[in-house]
């Protein structure tokens, strides 16, 4: 079975892992929202054996990661879960101690971003972490010309897509009980934002 491949995942998996290994240092289950090809799930599960990784993606797409998962024979990756963030499917997830999502907020509509934060807040225990990776703007300003061009291309594809602003996300997090505690600079003008459940 041919495995789907994302060059972006291949490029950023190690810098992200370097941070996640510090943040998710206790045993538990980590929910990944938008697992895509499964490259992140496999890489993180291989290198963080104290964690159980729970892949998930939209019901139309959640099986995409199976080829990568089945090829590894790892015992600390659960079967992928069909999760539409805007629905009530969160109730069927196993108990999770943390959550992670990469390159999803700028693809989702804003209502879906709101639903993702609400679902994560509902799912996480007190002090649980939500790590959100991707490009973000700050007070309406992009961090690079490449991000500005990327945002324009997203808007041209679909009006609901676009790079999200940190201040909007900070307010959204606060409204759901998630407080932004860390903001890491990662390669290629991306960030890893860390939210803690209060």
- Distance, in Å, from the CA atom of 164 to the CA atom of 138, rounded to the nearest integer, reads 9
Please tell me the predicted confidence (pLDDT) of residue 1: 54
Residues in CB range of 164: below 8 A, 6 or more apart:
105, 106, 110, 113, 136, 137
What pLDDT, in 10s, does the model give residues 44-95?
A: 999 999 999 999 999 999 999 999 999 999 999 999 999 999 987 898 999 9
- Whole-number Å distance between alpha carbons of 190 and 137: 10
- Assess if residue 157 is contained within a domain: yes
Strand order in the sheet with 129-134: 81-82, 51-57, 28-33, 98-102, 129-134, 190-197, 178-186
Residue ranges making up the domain that contains 111? 7-197
pLDDT of 192: 98
Is residue 155 one of the residues assigned to a domain?
yes
Determine, yes or no, domain membership for 18.
yes
Is 124 part of any domain?
yes
Cβ pair 98, 67 in contact under 8 A:
no
Could you give the CA distance from residue 42 to residue 50 in angstroms, rounded to a whole number? 14
Residue 2 lies in a domain: no
Q: Which pairing describes strands 178-186 and 190-197: parallel, antiparallel, or unpaired?
A: antiparallel
CATH code of the domain covering residue 82: 3.40.50.150
Q: What is the pLDDT of residue 88?
A: 77
Per-residue pLDDT at 169: 98
Question: What's the pTM?
Answer: 0.97
CA 165 from centroid of its chain's CA atoms? 16
Mean of pLDDT values over 17-23: 98
Whether 23 contacts 50, CB under 8 Å: no
> Over the stretch 120-159, which tens digit does the pLDDT of each residue have?
999 999 999 999 999 999 999 999 999 999 999 999 999 9
Measured distance CA(69)–CA(77) in Å, rounded: 7
At 161-172, the pLDDT tens digits run 999 999 999 999
pLDDT above 90: percentage of residues in the chain: 96
Residue 69, Cβ density class (10 Å: 0-12 exposed, 13-18 middle, ≥19 buried): buried
Residue 26: inside a domain = yes
> Residues with Cβ < 8 Å from 149, sequence gap 6 or more?
none
Structural domain includes residue 139: yes
Given the structure tokens 């803690």, which residue do they identify?
196
- Does some domain include residue 88? yes
What are 185's two structure tokens? 């600079």
For the chain, the domain total comes to 1
């Amino acid at each position: 079975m041919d495995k789907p491949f994302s060059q972006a995942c291949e490029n950023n998996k190690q810098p992200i892992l370097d941070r996640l290994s510090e943040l998710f240092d206790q045993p538990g289950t980590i929910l990944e929202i938008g697992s895509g090809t499964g490259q992140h799930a496999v890489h993180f599960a291989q290198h963080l054996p104290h964690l159980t990784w729970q892949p998930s993606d939209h019901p139309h797409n959640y099986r995409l990661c199976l080829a990568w998962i089945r090829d590894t024979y790892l015992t600390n990756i659960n079967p992928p879960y069909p999760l539409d963030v805007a629905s009530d499917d969160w109730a069927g997830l196993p108990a999770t101690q943390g959550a992670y999502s990469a390159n999803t907020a700028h693809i989702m509509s804003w209502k879906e971003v709101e639903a993702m934060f609400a679902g994560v807040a509902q799912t996480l225990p007190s002090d649980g972490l939500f790590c959100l990776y991707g490009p973000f703007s700050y007070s309406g300003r992009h961090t690079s010309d490449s991000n500005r061009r990327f945002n324009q291309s997203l808007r041209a594809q679909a009006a609901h897509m676009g790079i999200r602003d940190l201040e909007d996300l900070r307010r959204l997090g606060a409204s759901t009980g998630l407080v932004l505690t860390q903001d890491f600079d990662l390669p290629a003008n991306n960030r890893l934002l860390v939210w803690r459940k209060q």
